[in-house]
Structure 1
């Protein structure tokens, strides 16, 4: 494992990397490290000095232009304060304004929290608007399909449907429910939903299959379903025939051959 932590490692705080950027957080952490070892003070602050070439030796995975852009971004934020020793000297002195860093981090945290809250509120509003629109579509569709479906009926069915995990009433489902209420009753539709729920299948397709089966058996109300009709069948007339009067007549092989030839002759003569 010679590639791991044999060199002096570079540390980075994930929170700083998220709020300021990965490059900025790496450079800041390294600058903070050297400020802790520096003995150069000026205007009451500790400074360190280096050139872009010197920084590039500490960050060999970056180009000098990347290092320059990273430092400039931190300077614009006021987090890194820098100055040249002289106009002719390219060596640059650096320090960190820790108060500005704290303010920037707090402001960035507040902004990210505000963005998160705004996104959450937007999703909530979109969900509520979608829910209201879907319910209204289902409501209007059901009212168009039948005058039996009243606001009270819709409220009962929607409440049971959505509170028991069937999903949201869409326009299509609302239309199907309206048709079944018209053909049977509100009580029958609700009862079918309850039966589906008891069977562990909370889907409209399964519920409609229950209603279709009930209708096939002649149940249009729950009372009729509870009062299972006695099945009556017409006995066919042939069941009363006494076949014992007919005796089976045995035929010889010669008679069978004669009948076969007669049948073949009729078939050949047929147009």
Structure 2
């Protein structure tokens, strides 16, 4: 299974069929278990493991699992005794690739023996149109990924584990998708490739009452100004100290203080 393609297809499907945070969390947990099993077509996952990874109750997992099955994201087979169920994650991206292939096949021009030159011209025109359409679709997908906090994390920070996915979802609900993405951008710019740094920024914004991207950008500008002013003061104080030290003021003061102590 192609992990990145699977993630992209999962969120592309959600644009038309939104899922609850519990269902998203369970799907990511199953993906993580499947990753540990080295992407077997079928794998086992106990209820205990899924509860631990997703931080969901057994009843919530059963409910979320039923929704994933009904909407065609997974299949699972129960087994007797204490044996863990057998799961299979359906590769949604294959459906999307096949749909694109069918579009390409059906859009090909028909040959015309009486006027082959015109036929070739039409085929070329249709081919150019398809290329432009595909480029537009790819651009739209990239833009959607940039607008999706989970996609941004995967593309810029690292592997999206279920625990982090749930945290991102919670912060999106408390603040907004735009602010969560902006906090992760700041983390990447600072070379802090972990979500706890972004979470610290979000907590500061929350305490400061920042609720819009514009307000966050203004706070970022103010922070840069204050940092620059602080560095300037430090540099000025250091320069003054160095100047006094060069003039022997520091040694004279120490000598004077030592003489006074001797008296």
* TM-score for both structures, normalised by structure 2: 0.30
Q: Which has the larger radius of gyration?
A: 1
* TM-score for both structures, normalised by structure 1: 0.29
Q: Quick one: higher RCO (CA 8 Å, sep 6+), 1 or 2?
A: 2
